Structure 1
Amino acid sequence: MSKKQIFTLEYPVRCSPSILFEFLSTASGLQEWFADKVDERDNIFSFSWNGSVEKADVVESEEESFIRFHWQHAPAEEYFEFRIEKSEVSNQTILVVKDFADKKDIKDQSQLWSYQVKDLLHRIGS
């Protein structure tokens, strides 16, 4: 099995970091755009898509800054992360998504993230 590679995507967002962080770090916020249904208990998130459930642990987070998840079925060194940054030039809020995929799948995974983030931006009115 080939080792997955990390990739990073950036999206400009027109909303405050506090509002954006709610959509990235709470079950109700993530359910708005990321999965069909999301539940959270003891820092373990259950994401449901079309009846299939995947669980992810919150590895680390900092209010209004970032949250990192680890899929329970994935190797320990793999994660996906949402980070909120400010552009020094424009002072615009930037959503940075980090994830892992096989090299041949990075393009498809990037398109999937872009589709989901587009839904997020629509939900927050950005």
Structure 2
Amino acid sequence: MAKKQLYTLEYPVRCSPTILYEFLSTPAGLQEWFADRVDERDNVFSFSWNGSIEKAEVVEEELEKFIRFHWMHAPKDEFFEFRIEKTEITNQTILVIKDFAEKGDIKDQSQLWEYQVKDLFHRLGN
């Protein structure tokens, strides 16, 4: 199997990092836009889509800055991450998503994230 590549997506967001972080790091927040159902136990999140469940462990986080998940079925060095950054000049909030995909799947995966983020922005009132 081909080794997956890390890719990064950036989205400007009109909301406070505190509110955005809630949508990225809590079961209730993630359930609003990322998955049909989200549960968390002992730092392991269970994401459910159309009845299929995927589990991801929180491997690193910093309050209101970023949260990194590792899919339990994926190789150890792969992860997906939500990071909140501020631009220096305009002080605009930027949502940075990092994920892994095979080279030929990056475009499709990016479109999937685009769709998910659009849902997130709708929930945030952006």
User: TM range, normalised to the smaller chain?
Assistant: over 0.9
1:87 alignment partner in structure 2: 87
> 1:85 is matched by which residue type in structure 2?
E
TM-score (norm 1): 0.99
Q: Unaligned stretches of 5+ in structure 2?
A: none
CA distance in 1, matches of 2:30, 2:72: 18
1:76 alignment partner in structure 2: 76
Q: CA deviation at 1:89?
A: 2.0
1:21 alignment partner in structure 2: 21
For the residue of structure 2 that corresponds to 1:21, the secondary structure is: helix
For the residue of structure 1 that corresponds to 2:32, the secondary structure is: helix
**Number of paired residues?**
126
1:41 alignment partner in structure 2: 41
Taking only aligned residues, the RMSD between alpha carbons, in angstroms, comes to: 0.4
Give the % identical residues. Answer: 78
> 1:108 is matched by which residue type in structure 2?
D
> 2:90 is matched by which residue type in structure 1?
S
1:52 alignment partner in structure 2: 52
2:105 alignment partner in structure 1: 105
Q: CA deviation at 1:88?
A: 1.1
CA distance in 1, matches of 2:28, 2:43: 14
Q: How does 1:3-22 map to 2 (within 5 A)?
A: 3-22=3-22
CA distance in 1, matches of 2:79, 2:64: 19
For the residue of structure 2 that corresponds to 1:54, the secondary structure is: strand
Q: CA deviation at 1:21?
A: 0.1
Instruction: Detail structure 1 runs of 4+ shifted over 2 Å in the superposition.
Output: none
For the residue of structure 2 that corresponds to 1:98, the secondary structure is: strand
CA distance in 1, matches of 2:38, 2:70: 15
CA distance in 2, matches of 1:9, 1:87: 15
TM-score (norm 2): 0.99
